[in-house]
Amino acid sequence: MSQDDIFQKPLTQVVDFVFNKAVVDVFPDMIRRSVPGYDNIISMLGVFASQYASEKSRIYDLGCSLGAATLACHQQIPERHIKYYCIDNSQAMLDQCENNLKKHMPEASKTFVCDDVRNIEIENASMVILNFTLQFITPSDRLALIKKIHNGLQPNGCLVIAEKTLFKDTNTQNHMTEWHHQFKRANAYTELEISQKRAAIENVMIPDTTETHLSRLKKAGFQHPLQWFQCLNFSAFIAEKV
C-alpha cells in the first residue's frame, strides 16, 4: 500500500479534489489516516449484510471507491446468491475496484458501472450503501436520490450511509474540527498537508448535520432511521424499508 503524499509539497494553486489515478494509488492509506473509525464502519457493513441481504437480491455500493464495502459484505455472506453492483464516477477508481474484487471474490456476481450515482436505477435491492458518497453530491439532489433508493429497496431492505457531519453548535463544531486535525497529526500528516487537503476538498465535499440526515431519510419514506456510529465528526446511519 502506497503512502499518501499528494499534499506533502507546497502547491502554487490548490485545485479542487478529484478521485484521479494519483488518489487511487494511495486511497487505502489516505482514508485510514483521515477518517477515524473507518475500519469499524467497513466491518459493520458485513454485519448488516448478514442480516439484510436476501437470496437472489442485489447489493448496490454507490460510490464504491476500491470496493472495501462490497468485499466486507461478501465475506460475511459468501454462500448467498447476491448480485453486487459497484458504481463510481471515477474510472480510475472503478478499474482498481474491479481488479480488487475479481481477486478477492472471483465467484461472486459483480457489475461495475462508471457513472454518476444519481443516474443509477435501483431494483430488487436488499441493501444499498452510500459510504462517504452523499457529501459529494449537490445538496439539492440528495433527497431525490434517497427517495429513489427507498423505492428500489425490497421490503425489509436497508440503506446504510456513512458521512462526515457538521454540528449546529459552533463550540462543538470547533472542537470536532480541531480533534480531527489532531487525529491526522497523530497519523503523520503535516500542517501543510492538512491545510492543502482542506482547501482542495472544501468546495467539493459539503457535509450535513446529523439532524439533516435523519430528517431527509424520513422524508424519503424511511420510518425509523437510526444513527449507529459516531467518531468525532464522522457518523453512520441505517434506515430500513418497512
Cα(160)–Cα(164) distance, integer angstroms = 14
- The reply, when asked if residue 141 is annotated as ligand binding, is no
* Residues facing residue 229 across a β-bridge: 236
Instruction: Write the CA distances from 37 to 54, 95, 107, integer angstroms.
Output: 27, 26, 30
pTM above 0.75, yes or no: yes
Instruction: Write the CA distances from 172 to 40, 180, 230, 240, integer angstroms.
Output: 23, 12, 14, 30
- The reply, when asked if residue 204 is annotated as ligand binding, is no
Domain ranges of the chain: 1-242
- The reply, when asked if residue 89 is annotated as ligand binding, is yes
- The reply, when asked if residue 117 is annotated as ligand binding, is yes
- The reply, when asked if residue 38 is annotated as ligand binding, is yes
- The reply, when asked if residue 4 is annotated as ligand binding, is no
Torsion, Cα 82 83 84 85, to 10 degrees, reads -150
- The reply, when asked if residue 198 is annotated as ligand binding, is yes
- What top-level class would CATH report for the domain 1-242? alpha beta
Tens digits of pLDDT across the chain (242 residues): 589 999 999 998 989 999 999 999 999 999 999 999 999 999 999 999 999 999 999 999 999 999 999 999 999 999 999 999 999 999 999 999 999 999 999 999 999 999 999 999 999 999 999 999 999 999 999 999 999 999 999 999 999 999 999 999 999 999 999 999 999 999 999 999 999 999 999 999 999 999 999 999 999 999 999 999 999 999 999 999 99
- The reply, when asked if residue 64 is annotated as ligand binding, is yes
Handedness of CA 165, 35, 181, 190 (dihedral sign): negative
